[in-house]
Amino acid sequence: MSNTIGNKFKITLFGESHSDSIGAVIEGIPAGIVIDFNKTKFEMDRRRPGKSDISTSRNEIDDVKILSGYFNDKTTGSPISITIKNENMKSKDYSKLIQNMRPSHADYPAKIKFNGYNDYRGGGAFSGRLTAPIVFAGAIAKQILKKKNIFIGSHISSIKNIKDDNFNELEIKTELLEKLRKEKIPTINNEIAIKMENEILEYKKNGDSVGGIVEATIINLPIGLGEPIFDSFESKLAHMLFSIPGLKGVEFGKGFEVSQMIGSDANDEYYYDEFKNIKTYSNNNGGILGGLTTSMPVIFKVAFKPTPSISIKQRTINLETEENVELKIKGRHDPCIVPRALVVVEAVAAIVTLDFLLESGIYYG
């Protein structure tokens, strides 16, 4: 296991779905920062399950307890460490799963890797629950980035085949990002949200699940963030994004689509605008060239698979009896993880961006 990430802004996660607690040690926050805990709670609530009929009915409170690093209402420069109690767990739900491997979950390779000693309950260390402290760390990062006028936001680009509009690649307003942040199903085109919700509920009815795509953006970045060759902006962001459970693809700018273009169309040509600001006529590269930010909006998309926990009968194996069996997963599960995972995507973007900013020395400037 490797539970630590980041260079200057460093996160160490711990915990399993059904252990006493989960939590994080968050290193590298500059001293003297006032944290707005209403905002961290707001972000935690966005990710929290049990809020509506499109997410799991598990009701996790996600009360974050600060153990250190905060004194006289300011950060001390020493790590902020947090715990979140695991409550409302139904460990018995998982007792039958010990030997019956849930398809498309980590159960089988994890059992082999850890010689059967891993905590299998609720997915153990592989549970999406571990993303809660990521969201908390991301909420702090967002507040620090905001002091530098950097904003992060996202919307659901698609649920199954239902597509929302794309971000305007040339200019994204903070107002739009603020609006999206408050929505249950954040979309640029509001009518699409209703269609998406209905689609999710439709498949939920059958005990099935659906996947989708999140489009996210980081705006007002300084030029030159990124540490190529090997720590390009894309590399470090993709690295952490691919630790979000269920995420199977990452593309920047036009991504896979740009592979079907020709150079004369794909290239983002430069011009000086009337105020002598440097701009590009297009942003097919998603605000990143040579692994460095260009000051255009960083835009990326990530693909989530349908939640693997479905209540429809599935074929699988029983490792004890070594027989083919059928499995019907009970418990309370998200029919679609995308509306909650989107909050994690934003948190990851905030964490990685702050890490680059602190590394660059610009933050201190």
d(CA 242, CA 246): 9
Q: Does 28 bind a second copy (CB under 8 A)?
A: yes
Q: Binding of a second copy at residue 69 (CB under 8 A)?
A: yes
In sequence order, the β-bridge partners of residue 318 are 100, 323
Is residue 289 within 8 Å of 228, Cβ to Cβ?
A: no
- Paired tokens of 82: 């947090």
Should residue 98 be labelled a site residue for a second copy when binding is judged by CB under 8 A? no
Minimum Å gap between C-beta 327 and a second copy is 9
* Residue 349 makes contact with a second copy by CB under 8 A: no
Tell which residue, 44, 60, 47, has the closest CA to residue 340: 47
Tokens, residue 145: 């980035």
Among 14, 39, 50, 146, binds a second copy (CB under 8 A): 14
* Total residues binding a second copy (CB under 8 A): 149
Query: Residue 143 interacts with a second copy (CB under 8 A)?
Result: no
Does residue 354 interact with a second copy by CB under 8 A?
Answer: no
260 binds a second copy (CB under 8 A): yes
Of 48 and 204, which has the nearer Cβ to a second copy?
A: 204
Question: Should residue 154 be labelled a site residue for a second copy when binding is judged by CB under 8 A?
Answer: no
What minimum distance in Å lies between the beta carbon of 277 and a second copy?
A: 10
Q: Does 331 bind a second copy (CB under 8 A)?
A: no
Asked if residue 294 binds a second copy (CB under 8 A), the reply is yes
Choose the binding region for a second copy from 52-60, 137-145, 178-186, 208-216 (rule: CB under 8 A): 208-216
Give the range of 43-51, 105-113, 168-176, 190-198 binding a second copy by CB under 8 A.
105-113
Contacts of 20 (CB under 8 A, 6+ apart): 85, 86
Question: What is the per-residue DSSP string for 90-136?
Answer: -GGGGGGGGTBPPTTSSHHHHHHHTTT-S--GGGGGGSGGGHHHHHH
Binders of a second copy among residues 179 to 198 (CB under 8 A) are none
Return the residue of 36, 42, 45, 67 that touches a second copy, per CB under 8 A: 67
| Main-chain dihedrals φ then ψ at residue 325, nearest 5 degrees | -135, 175
**352 binding a second copy? (CB under 8 A):** no
DSSP 227: B
What is the spatial distance between Cα 349 and Cα 355, in angstroms, rounded to a whole number? 10
Of 264, 274, 275, 320, the one binding a second copy by CB under 8 A: 264
Question: Per rule CB under 8 A, is residue 275 in the interface with a second copy?
Answer: no
Q: State which of residues 42, 53, 59, 71 lies at the interface with a second copy (CB under 8 A).
A: 71
Element holding 64 (H helix, E strand): strand 64-68
Whether the Cβ atoms of residue 223 and residue 292 lie closer than 8 Å to each other: yes
Angle, CA 313 vertex, CA 309 and CA 315 arms, to 5°: 90
Q: What is the DSSP string of 135-148?
A: HHHHHHHHHHHHHT
For residue 305, state whether it binds a second copy (rule: CB under 8 A): yes
63 part of the interface to a second copy, by CB under 8 A: no
Rounded to a whole number of angstroms, the minimum distance from the CB of residue 146 to a second copy is 19
Output 49 or 69, the one with its CB closest to a second copy: 69
Closest CA to 246 of 179, 304, 287: 304
